Amino acid sequence: MKPKASSLTSTALLLWKTLDARGLDANDFFAQSGLDPALLRDPNARYPGHAIKRLWQRVKEVLQDPCIGLEVARHFHPTTLHALGFAWMASTTLEEAFARLIRYSRLITDREEYRFGETDEDFRFEIHPLDEDRYYPHEGRDAAFAVLVNMCRAIYGNDFNPLHIEFCRPQPPQPCVGEFHKLFRAPLTFSAPLYVMHFDKAMMRKPLPTANADVARANDEIIADYLAQLDDSDIVMQVKRLLTEQLPSGKATQASIARALNISPRSLQRRLHEAGTHYSEVLNDTRRELAIKHIRNARLSMGEITYLLGFAEVSSFSRAFKRWTGKPPGEYRAESTRQVVSRQALHNK
């Protein structure tokens, strides 16, 4: 069983402020979604991911406003993202700011995976939802993209515009689609396979007037401390982190993980049972997650991935990968490459 996904309560505060500004009972929306509004006053608190999803679903059903995500984004403040908001503001370039966002994305949420990288033509930022989270209300990710563009303009200037944006959501009706174009000021593609934002390379590398290395470094330390405390409170995350370190040795065992945690194997077994899982399940999940991540990196050979995951032979890794994904690793890598090429071709049209 995977550890429960969670998000900073401050990200949900944007929804609370939106509902309150409309004269609605925001506390009632939160309570009916299983969220304690009192936690909004704790900047370090987190809400369960599934409960925030329920909140967005309720907001969508009650308000019936396809543009609500854009309205939510207007309430953004750097403190919404804890210390990451200030580290972003102090970054030397937008490229550095996005790299920081990827590095510390788990601070905001572990409900989805963010990716950022350079292609031959541009930089791109992608949102990859977890398998069980593919039916998350589109309005939530509309808000995420709107916040991201506003964050870019806050440090680059109001003349910042993306090259192109792809949304999984269907095109909203008028006049809402006009609001999308007004905010994003870029060509928009709806009903796309992924949420993707494309950026100009020169714009991403331009030195920013708000840069402050000392402020960025100080807030990086605050983020690292927060994440360390978060991991220390989550036995599954601790085991996953240690497995990632120990798997290449080929000697990762329940006993070796317990020794690294300074507890007995029996205590480790008990704590994992209390978290709703067991060692072999965490080991399998960790290997599967790392395998999918590594297979998308074309620079890694099958032999190198086999080593990183602690398998003795490539054939053993291949069998496990097919069990996890239904496809051999080579076929999965080829499909991932074709998807990238397809998105590039769509962008070039």
pLDDT for 343 equals: 57
User: What string of DSSP letters covers 87-152?
Assistant: HHHT-SSHHHHHHHHHHTHHHHBSSEEEEEEE-SS-EEEEEEE-GGGTT--HHHHHHHHHHHHHHH
pLDDT-derived band at 323 (thresholds 50, 70, 90) equals very high
- 138, HSE (Cβ side, Cα atoms, 13 Å): 17
pLDDT of residue 248 exceeding 70, the answer is yes
Q: What is the mean pLDDT of residues 104-133?
A: 87
Quote the crossing angle between the two packed helices 235-246 and 265-274, to the nearest 10°. 130
Q: In the prediction, which pLDDT does 132 show?
A: 52
Whether 259 contacts 318, CB under 8 Å: no
Please list, in sequence order, all residues whose beta carbon lies within 8 angstroms of the beta carbon of residue 208, skipping any fewer than 6 positions away: 91, 92, 93, 94, 155, 156
Distance CA 73, CA 49 (A): 19
Computed over every residue of the chain, the mean pLDDT equals: 91
The structural architecture, per CATH, of the domain 234-337 is Orthogonal Bundle (1.10)
106 or 207: which carries more pLDDT confidence?
A: 207
Integer CA distances (angstroms), 102 to 99, 113, 125, 342, in order: 5, 9, 9, 24
Neighbour count for residue 315 (Cβ, 10 Å)? 11
Share of the chain above pLDDT 90, in %: 74
**Per-range mean pLDDT, top range of 211-220, 245-254, 261-270:** 211-220
- Cα(131)–Cα(108) distance, rounded to whole angstroms? 19
Per-residue pLDDT band for 345 (boundaries 50, 70, 90) equals: low
Report residue 273's pLDDT band, with 50, 70 and 90 as the boundaries. confident
Lowest mean pLDDT among 127-141, 205-219, 247-261, 287-301: 127-141
Listed in sequence order, the residues at least 6 apart from 55 whose beta carbon sits closer than 8 Å to its beta carbon are 12, 15, 29, 30, 33, 35
Measured at the CA of 121, the angle between CA 177 and CA 336, to 5 degrees, comes to 80
Let me know: does 271 contact 235? Beta carbons within 8 Å: yes
Please give the Cα distance from 109 to 102 (Å, whole number).
11
Encode pLDDT of 43-62 as tens digits.
888 998 889 999 999 999 99
With a cut of 70, say whether residue 281 has pLDDT above it: yes
In the prediction, which pLDDT does 151 show? 97
Q: Which CATH architecture has domain 6-213?
A: Alpha-Beta Complex (3.90)
Mean pLDDT on 205-217: 96
The answer on pLDDT for 235 being more than 80 is: yes
Domain residue ranges in the chain:
6-213, 234-337
Model pLDDT, residue 85? 97
CA dihedral 148, 298, 324, 234 (to 10 degrees): -50
* CB contact at 8 A, 63 and 76: no
pLDDT given for residue 1 in this prediction: 41
Q: What angle do CA 297, 126, 106 make, to 5 degrees?
A: 85
d(CA 5, CA 105): 13
List helix spans (H) across 131-234.
138-156, 176-184, 201-205, 213-232
Mean pLDDT of 118-146: 87
Cα–Cα distance between 110 and 202 in angstroms, integer?
A: 30
